[in-house]
Structures are given as structure tokens and as C-alpha cells.
A and B are shown apart, each in its own frame.
Chain A
Amino acid sequence: MLEVKDLHVTVEGSEILKGLNLTVNPGEVHALMGPNGAGKSTLSAVIAGKDGYEVTSGEILFEGKNLLEMEIEERALAGILLGFQYPVEIPGVKNIYLLKAALNAQRVARGEEEIPAPEFMKLVREQLSFMKMDGSFLQRAVNEGFSGGEKKRNEILQMLVLQPKLAMLDEIDSGLDIDAMKVVAEGINSLRNADRAILMVTHYQRLLEHIVPDRVHVLVDGRIVKSGDKELANELEARGYEWVLEESAA
């Protein structure tokens, strides 16, 4: 589904990703780990199409298409959704408006009819209660005045409504207490199916106790230096990143 090939990315003149390779297949959950400054968030930002990241070489294919030639919204309509580490507050735009406009943009792009209002409200209310959020969230401006945990739940709510093919979660666990973490993890686990891929960027192993990944990658200094299964995450938790750094230098 997603193929990242020898990706080099610079930000403000300094190279952050230095030849990153990654393949994610449908049905798989991948965790991208690594010390601060390794370039973890850069990868998801480049895939989503954020400004300020210059791809100097390499390519990214999504379902065989050259992602780097697509506009930000085209990537979203193709089925890629980024859950932000710091979801932005959008004063004046109601949550419900964003959900409906985003869902209809997808449907229209697929040549479908816009969703009828009752059907939409039914869908949203189901997902809302699954995320343990009350109806007032819909009428509030996107993320405005939300606590850290509420913002993250709101990101997952969007995923549940929009049902992306590739869900990317950037440090979704940061700022969550244990209860909120469970709700968020349940939301993410409910997204798992044979057709969907999930790419999680995380600093801590904690999240992976709740969402067990198929593959774990360690990103160090702009490259993936080690990949393994969920056991690798446990090992990182126990031993830190030092040994991987040494191993990769050797």
C-alpha cells in the first residue's frame, strides 16, 4: 500500500531523512520508534504533504501512485489520514461541520452521493459514544478549548468517521492519561482490518501494550536502522536506544 524508497528530506537546509525505506501492506500495523530528533514526525508530515519539507531524492508510492505529486487534499481523498500530535484549534468551524464536509468531500471524490443528514448523524453519534465523547463536542469549534486528551480523541473520532485506508498517528499517546489512552487505543484497534494499514509514530513503548504492532522500526538519524516484530519494542523499553545506535554504528 505504502512504499517509501530511499527518501531524503531536508528542512530549512538540514537533512532530516537520509535514505529512508519502508513498506507497509494492507492489514498491517507498523510502529515507528526512535529517539527525539530522529525524524519520526518528519516522515508522517511528508506523507501528509506539509509545507516546509523538501524531498531532495527518493519517492513515496501510495497504491502505486506517486504521492509527492499529489495535493494535500488529494492525498486525503486517496485515503491517507494523519492524526496530529498537536491537533490545531480551529475557532469558528464546528466539529460537526468539519466531519460532514470531510466525509462528503470523500464521497463526492468517489462519485457517490452526499450523505443524507439522518444517516450522517446516526453514524457520528455511534462513533462519538464509542469514543466516550458527548454530543456537545459536535457543536463546539474544532479542538477549541479541548483538553489534550479530548483533542486526541477527536482525531480518532475523525478517523472512525472517515475510515481511511492508511491511518497515520503521530505521537497519539502524548499527553494522555491512562484512561484516555485506553479509549484512544480502543478506537485505533477498532480501525484494524485486512484492508487498512496503520502507521504509528511513537516515542514510548507504552502505547504498544494497547495496540500491538505487526512491525516495529527503529529510526535513528534519518534512517531505519532496525526492524522487527513486537518483541523489538519490548527490548527497546528494557534497554533503551543506545544498543541499537551502537549496533548500527558497528
Chain B
Amino acid sequence: MSAAHAFLQRLGERADDEPTWVAARRQAGAARFEALGFPTKRDEAWKYTDVRRIAEGEFTLADDAELDEARFAALGMPLDAHRLVFVDGVFSADLSDLTDLPDGVSVEPLTTAMRTNHEAIGGAIGRLAGVDFSPFTALNVALSEEGAVVRIGQGVVVEKPIYVVFASRANESARMSHPRVLVMAGARSQSTVIEHYAGEAGAANFTNVVSEVMLERGAIVDHYKLQEASSEDLHVASIHVEQGRDSRFTSFNLNLGGALVRTDLVTDLNAQGAETNYNGLFFVQGRQHVDNHTLVNHNAPNTFSNENYKGILNDRARGVFNGKVIVKRDSQQIEAYQNNANLLLSDRAEIDTKPELEIYADDVKCSHGATTGQLDEEAVFALRTRGIDEQMARGLLTLAFAGEVMDQVRLPVITERVERAVAGKLPERFNLADLVEVSDALEEA
């Protein structure tokens, strides 16, 4: 029995009261996945990332969402937000909080959305990421059942972030989940959506998520993916974005945890004035492996993309960055900038970075670059001569390296989370927001 076939055995465990069209979709995903099989290192897109740990793993689908408040509090972020929580892929109504959603906004578990709004959701889901993108999206289609559906009406500005938590428990036997995230941002709407993958110590589950974000004309979406699962967790994610005219999408792909993490991020800029910003940070240690594959398709003229990925690798960790920009013929007057900088904190850490530009138009502004370096030992010495201990000096400089990306983050809770992971507990907030306030007050006085 092939590894692919073994995974699909789980199909039989699903409830057989599903509508026939859902079953049909599953069958299509299953057939595609079985035909493709798990990727191997012979596949160009998976050259540096070995997924045998997933293929050879034994995972079952969870059927409960039990997680008490205390355990959840240790994982989730204290955010004033509209919250949707999944535990090993299963929706938890108890931990979710959707009490004060503004008019014109709906945030629901996928199963509910499918029941109540079958036509709109059924038509949207899978449109950007169906069975063909990768074996993992096919597997997701075959086995997915739950997820988050966010719909924002025309012109609605959602003040609070929409916070989707995927909690991974330390289970007796490993679980897998194949969640979907669907964000439909209406024209001129504004919202912040957070996907937070958090794991208990010792959790060794497999998450295979597919997210689709659709921005209509003039919509603005800030999308955060904060991945801080345990160092045993396996995580594959595929994020697909489609942008209409004058829309703006900003991605924060922040990877702090996981044993094996692969994220694909794909944006289609389909109409003039669309802008996409990719901010990425990965901080890996031990034997963690993180792989980011990003793609921007400039399908229309006057579109803009800006990408900045920073990697920090310690111990024997390994990182992969592959950033591709494709400018279609006739997509004139576009701008595309891409940068990947990596900091190696150990001699045994490794990064494979590959920026790729494919340009078929002639009136374009594009640039790309990749650098890899170490901490500046002169700067470590200089900080220590000011009484700052070595560990903190290194932490500060490491954090400073991430600064360009973290300065863009507009949620202090997330900044703090990253600061603590990268630099340990600092005696003060790195951005010194309180001091700036005091300073401004003094200036006015």
C-alpha cells in the first residue's frame, strides 16, 4: 500500500451523511492525490524539503475539540478580537468568541457556512486552490471538513482583528487536520485576519491547511500567519490570494516553530492598481526545517509587489526561500521588488535561497537580492562594553536584523511574541513605545 493510499484510508472514517457534492469533491481530491503521491526531492518545488516524515507518519483525524481554558490560554494570544478556535482541526464553540461582530461581517466555521450559505461558499472554496496546485492541496480537498470562513461586506471596516487559532494538542497518538480558510473581502472593505498555529509542548501533529483570500476592488486585507507550533509538529500551508483593482494585500508570514514547515504563498494581481506586500520572518533552531515558496503573478499592468523575507537560523536548522515573480506580457508599468536576507547564528545552520524573476513585459521596474551573513562581532563587543550581557547583546542584534520586517507589524501582541522568541525576555520593550510617549510629552511641555 502506498503512503498516499494509507492517508486516503482515512476517507472512510468520515461521516457518510455528507451531501453528494461534498463527497464528489473529496473523491476528486483523493483521485488527484493518489495519482500525484507525496512529492519527492526530485520535484523541483520540493528539492530541499523532504516530506518523508509526513508520508511515513501515522495520523488519525481528531473527533473532539477538548481543551480547557487554562491550556488554551497558554497557547492563544490575549487579543481583543473576533475569535474562532480549532483544536486539532475540530471547531471549538466554547473557546471561540464571535459575540460582537459588526454588521456586514460574518465569521463562521466552514461546516456552518456550507449549511447556511451553500451557494456562495461552495462556489468560492477551491476556486483559487483546488486539487492541482500541489499534492498537499489535493490531499486537503480529499480530507478537509472544517475551517474558517470570513466574509466582509462592501465598504465595511472591521476594527478588531479576526483571529483564527489552530491549536495543536500534545496527543497520545498523532493527529492530522486539513483545514480550509476562506476570506472574501468585499469592495473597499478593510480587515485584519490572523491565522495562528500554536502547539503544546510535545505536540507532534500534522496540519495541512489551504487558505484562499479574495479581495474585491479597493479592499484592504492585512493577513498574519503566525506559526509557533511545537518543535515536533509538521505543517504544510498553501495561501492563495486573488486581488481586484486597487486592492491592497499585506502578508506577514512569521514562522517560529515546527519541525517541518512548508508555506506556499501565491498572489494573483489581476487588475490595475493592485498591490501586494509580503513580509516574512523565520526563526528556526535545533533541527527545525522551514521552507517558504512565494509567487507573485503580475497579471495586469500597473500592479505593485514588494517582498521582504528575513531568515534567522541557529543550531542545525535549515531554511529554504524561493521567491518567484512572474510579469505577464502586456503587464506594463509594474513594480516588483524582492529581498531575502538571512542570518546564520551557527556554522551548522543552512539556507538555500533562490529569487526568480520571469519578465515578459518591457516597461517594468524590478529588483531582487539575497544575502546571507553572521552577527557583527564588533557590535556584540560594543554592546558588551556598555554593560549589556552577551546573551542579550546577541538577542538585540538578532532582533535588530528582523527589524525591517517587524517594524511593519501593526499588532503589538505579535511583535512581543516574536521579540520573546528571538531575543528572550528583554528588560524593556524593544520598540520603546512608552519612552516615545514620554519623550513627546516632554517636548510639548
Contacts and interface: CB of A to CB of B under 8 A. Distances in A.
B379 A90 contact: yes
Interface in A30-52: 48-51
B388 to A, nearest CB: 6
Given A72-B390, A96-B435, 13 more contacts: A49-B384, A73-B385, A73-B389, A76-B387, A81-B386, A90-B400, A92-B397, A92-B399, A97-B396, A100-B435, A104-B428, A114-B427, A122-B442
A121 B386 contact: no
B378 A72 contact: no
Nearest to A78: B387
A100 B381 contact: no
A94 B432 contact: yes
Contacts of B392: 101
Contacts, number: 110
A100 to B, nearest CB: 6
B441 to A, nearest CB: 8
Contact of B381 (A51, A118, A158): A51
30 contacts: A71-B384, A71-B390, A73-B384, A73-B390, A73-B393, A76-B386, A82-B385, A88-B381, A89-B379, A90-B379, A90-B397, A90-B400, A91-B403, A92-B399, A92-B403, A96-B432, A96-B435, A98-B383, A98-B388, A101-B392, A102-B386, A105-B386, A105-B388, A109-B387, A117-B434, A118-B438, A118-B442, A121-B435, A139-B436, A162-B387
Contacts of B377: 51
B385 A72 contact: yes
Nearest to A77: B387
Interface of A: 48-51, 71-73, 75-77, 81-82, 84, 87-94, 96-98, 100-102, 104-106, 108-109, 114, 117-118, 120-122, 125, 135, 138-139, 141, 158, 162
A225 B3 CA distance: 80
Which of the four size classes fits the interface of chain B?
20 to 34
B401 interface: yes
B382 interface: yes
A72 B430 CA distance: 23
B376 interface: yes
Given A100-B432, A117-B435, A117-B438, A106 B387 contact: yes
A84 B379 CA distance: 12
Nearest to A102: B386
Contacts of A114: 427
Contacts of A51: 377, 381
A73 B376 contact: no
A93 B397 contact: yes
B379 A101 contact: no
A89 to B, nearest CB: 8
A151 B396 CA distance: 20
A100 B438 CA distance: 13
A105 to B, nearest CB: 4
Nearest to B442: A121
